[in-house]
Amino acid sequence: MDGWWKLLRQNKFAVDPTYWHRAAFITGMSVLNSLQRRKENKLFGEQVAQTEIKPAPIFILGHWRSGTTHLHNLLSLNSQQFAFANTYQTTNPFTFLTSEEENTKRFAWFLPDTRPMDNIPMTFDSPQEDEFAVLLQCWHSLYLGITFPRREKHYSQYLTFHDTSPEELEEWKSALIYFMKKLTFKYDKPLVLKAPPHTARIRHLLDMFPDAKFVHIHRDPYTIYQSFNHYVDTAMWYTYLQRPNWEQIDESILNRYSTMYNAFFEDKGLIPAGQFHEMAFEDLERDPLGEMKATYNALNLPGFTEFEPKLSNYLDSIKDYKKNCFEPLSEDKRTLVAQRWKRCFTEWGYEI
């Protein structure tokens, strides 16, 4: 409850009337969560604090709509070796140790069968972005610029943390470490985590986890641009507490991509040899078994032979999945995207 009240104060309680029902719902849930949090801290707080995060967590990097979810799903299938953060845990970081088993059954009806932007199946058990969990702990996330678009510029600094105060950076680090400790306490396995904003935070992740391993996936920038615009139209509105400025959204998409990859290219060289692997979404789509084997080999991950049958069965189960289809971009838009994102076209060999 205190955290939700703090967030409202920071935004001067400027919730637009059309979203008052959302604010009311969040307020009610925050009261319940506060009570559950006290219970969980009492039961497990000391044990979580003493938990050591397993070595070599794997961070999946890549811009939104580049295939990070698909890659996360594939890597997370190897439950013998790895653990991951699921949808319930990332939206209930303070309480999932004591509430997950009951609430995932009670509120299963609350989730849609598929994600609104791409029809990928969605359950409380599905692998999910750890960014949501950290956001709810410290409020340092660019995602809050979607919820409160009138302060988008303020929240955008949390993509790279290059211009934030040292105190805010430490608060973010502490929140991520706390969440990873809780996951490690629950599963006692190395973690496979995915959050697109991490693509711009390599230096900070290495500072916390020098042995961390990274898998970066990229995709045709034109497709990214089309798919992200579709995402705005189909999914973002679920999170608004203020009406967005539609005239600024296109510029935000273009600028966010450039900011992310400027930071990525600046920091990629910091990753020690043997701790980084990069792939194209197009290659993963064409030869998923081959690309996954190459990932295991590049990162020196054991157990692919034992994992391969399970991976093959999963790939067979999704072979009929249909991707979104988009209208071709206008020549003006293609030119604009090519100009603004030229470096990525060049680095990865995509045709302009």
Query: CA-CA distance, 73 to 108, in Å (whole number)?
Result: 20
Q: Which fold has domain 2-348?
A: Rossmann fold (3.40.50)
Q: Provide the mean pLDDT of the chain.
A: 93
What separation in angstroms does the CA of 183 have from each of 96, 208, 340?
A: 10, 16, 39
Gap between the Cα atoms of 214 and 298, Å rounded: 10
Q: At what angle do helices 68-76 and 304-317 cross, to 10 degrees?
A: 130
Tokens linked to 288: 């998923």
> Residue 114 region, left (φ>0) first, then alpha (ψ -120 to 50), else beta?
beta
pTM of the model: 0.94
pLDDT tens for residues 293-334? 999 999 999 999 999 999 999 999 988 767 767 788 999 999
Q: pLDDT digits over 167-196, tens only?
A: 999 999 999 999 999 999 999 999 999 999
